[in-house]
Copies of this chain bind each other. A is one copy, B any other.
Amino acid sequence: MRRDIFQAIADPTRRAILVLIAVHAMTPNAIAEHFDSSRQSISKHLRILSECELLAQKQEGREIFYELKIDKMKEIDIWLDKFRKIMEERFQQLDEILLLTIKNKKK
């Protein structure tokens, strides 16, 4: 059972759920009303998102409110940072090449 945040956000319904919940916590039934899928199907998605620690639950009577744990989203940002850094290095190298070219022309 592979269960990481990248696999979690691969599904478009799950991404929509995250956006929906980001505004304020919601119950499974309330969430399901926003989609064509059944309540059970949404419940499955909620379980997967919870297993990835993207969601927290707040029980109120027989209702369960799911809320987004926004901090977990940072993990995606951290991964993207790798590419930001690599790109920075690339531009620096490009700068050096351009600088050398200018210097050579002056000779």
Contacts and interface: CB of A to CB of B under 8 A. Distances in A.
Given A18-B83, A80-B80, 4 more contacts: A6-B9, A19-B83, A68-B83, A70-B87
A82 interface: yes
A92 to B, nearest CB: 13
What range describes how many residues of A lie at the interface? 20 to 34
A60 interface: no
Contacts of A18: 83
A73 B77 contact: no
A103 to B, nearest CB: 24
Contacts of A15: 6, 79
Contact of A6 (B4, B10, B23, B77): B10
